Amino acid sequence: MDSTLNPNAHIADFARFIEASPSSYHAAAEVARRLDEAGYAALSETDEWPTGAGRHYVVRDGAVVAWSQPEASGPTTPFRILGAHTDSPGFKLKPKPTITSHGWLQAGVEVYGGPLLNSWLDRELELAGRLVTRDGDEYLVRTGPFLRIPQLAIHLDRDANSGLTLDRQRHTVPVFGVGGSADLVGHLASLAGIDGADVAGYDILTADTQAPARFGIDGDLFAAGRMDNLSSVYAGLAALLSAPDADHINVLAAFDHEELGSESRSGASGPMLDDILSRIAAGLGASVSQKLQAYADSWCLSADAGHSVHPNYPEKHDPANHPVMGSGPLLKINGTSATRRMPSARRSGNARVRRLRFRTRSSCRTTRCRAARLSGR
């Protein structure tokens, strides 16, 4: 990823990364593909792992953890972890998803995470995710432009501009055809090259198909879907691949299911990171005490999207803490996040750190690494 040193190339590559990642499963696969190109080796959690130095990664569902282990690593070598998440808010396909209503073919979906519902109206959406067959094989699939959640015409709702209220069950059901019958799961299976009867389960979500774009004066602004939180995943991957050898183990932990609270086997509050760090420590011959020594000298940076001051809603931010666009990295501080030895105290060069606080009546969730119960910085 040499593009990281050139801003224009960096943005172009970031756009390609977003377009390749319509779901958390695609994002994990795209991270894995780029790691393969950089010489990282994939490991299976059911196999024995090499114990020497090297660069490796593990994919679990829609999550991926990658690390670079230097030659000098020992039982108490600390970890430097960047945690992010691969999933984004949207809608998830329900069981028995094909619906017919008043001559329309519709897809049964439920809200996934915390999307701004009205922003999904009248957009060309795609379905993307994974299919799982009865023999346990997984297949990635995406439809391209396929769905649309149509908003009611102003002629039928003259009060829409006075306040739009959407019922999640009735008003956010996308259309994908007219008349007749269809087998939505069968269609997805055919795109994956398998028989619909062989599909035992699926994790399929919606994604906006509008391409990322630069805009504004001199193209200084960039817009794309799913930047919460593919922006942090991409930045963490670029940092990992460009980091020089050091006296610690660099780790990128891109988790899934942050939008649902991270309580899953591939979420930040689940066992994945602890499983992997424990196996790395065991490969280094660490005792329980030595592993805890390494954890005590480790740190985890939780990276997620933040909110700059909105020019039309400046009152939504704390009066004394106004993160302004273009003013440097953002440090989130709230009542549910604890930061020990503030990163701002360790910054170097000319980096400027902006602190973010919302008004007391507002709140914002962020990614929190369980980080294998790390007790360090």
Confidence of residue 365 (pLDDT cuts 50, 70, 90): low
- Position 125 scores a pLDDT of 98
**What's the token pair of residue 210?**
């509008």
pLDDT at 346 over 50: no
pLDDT exceeds cutoff 80 at 362: no
Who has greater pLDDT, 305 or 356?
Answer: 305
Task: Look at the chain and count its residues.
Answer: 377
User: Stretch 12-40: mean pLDDT, rounded?
Assistant: 98
What is the amino acid identity at position 350? Answer: N
pLDDT of residue 329: 83
Q: So what's the pLDDT on residue 327?
A: 84
Identify the three-state secondary structure at position 317.
strand
Residue 199 has pLDDT above 90, yes or no: yes
pLDDT of amino acid 71: 94
* Euclidean distance between CA atoms 203 and 295, whole angstroms: 34
- Lowest mean pLDDT: which of 61-65, 91-95, 159-163, 250-254? 159-163
- DSSP string computed for 89-111: SEEEEEEEEEEEETTEEEEEEEE
Residue 360, pLDDT above cutoff 50? no
Identify the DSSP state of 248: S
Q: Which residues contact 17 (CB under 8 A, 6 or more apart)?
A: 30, 230, 234
Nearest Cα residue to 151 out of 138, 140, 166, 168: 166
The model's pLDDT over 267-306, given as tens digits with 9 standing for 90+, comes to 999 999 999 999 999 999 999 999 999 999 999 999 998 8
Average pLDDT, the chain: 89
The yes-or-no verdict on residue 123 having pLDDT over 50 is yes
The dihedrals phi and psi of 80, each to the nearest 5 degrees, come to -120, 105
- Helices 272-283 & 288-296, crossing angle to 10 degrees? 120
Confidence band (pLDDT; 50, 70, 90) for 66? very high
How would DSSP label each residue in 73-92? Answer: --TT--EEEEEEE---SEEE
Confidence of residue 85 (pLDDT cuts 50, 70, 90): very high
Q: Which two tokens stand for residue 270?
A: 């689940």
H or E, element range at 35? helix 24-37
Tell me, rounded to whole angstroms, the distance of Cα 192 from its chain centroid: 23
The pLDDT value given to residue 338: 52
Class of domain 90-208: mainly beta
User: Would the pLDDT of 349 be above 80?
Assistant: no
Give the residue carrying structure tokens 């979906």.
Answer: 109
Structure tokens belonging to residue 128: 């993307």
Share of the chain above pLDDT 90, in %: 76
Q: Which helix (H) or strand (E) segment is 278 a member of?
A: helix 272-283
pLDDT at 107 over 70: yes
Selected residue with higher pLDDT from 108 and 1: 108
Instruction: Determine if the peptide bond prior to 229 is cis (ω within 30°).
Output: yes
- Interval 323-344: pLDDT, tens: 888 888 888 776 655 555 544 4
pLDDT at 205 exceeding the cut of 80: yes
CATH no. of 2-88+226-307: 3.40.630.10
Residue 42 has pLDDT above 60, yes or no: yes
Question: Looking at residue 332, what is its pLDDT?
Answer: 79
Across 11-62, the runs of DSSP E, i.e. the strands, are: 41-42, 54-60
Radius of gyration over alpha carbons of the chain, in Å? 22
CA 64 vs. chain centroid, Å, equals 10
Domain boundaries, the chain: 2-88+226-307, 90-208, 308-357
- The count of C-alpha atoms lying within 13 angstroms of the C-alpha of 8, restricted to the half-sphere facing its C-beta, is 2
Q: Would you state the pLDDT for residue 322?
A: 82
- The residue-averaged pLDDT of 99-126 equals 96
Of 169, 187, 164, 36, which is closest to residue 98 (Cα–Cα)?
187
CB 340 within 8 A of CB 377: yes
- Reduce the secondary structure of 184-230 to three states and give it as a string: HHHHHHHHHCCCHHHEEEEEEEEEECCCCEEECHHHCEEECCCHHHH
Measured distance CA(198)–CA(119) in Å, rounded? 35
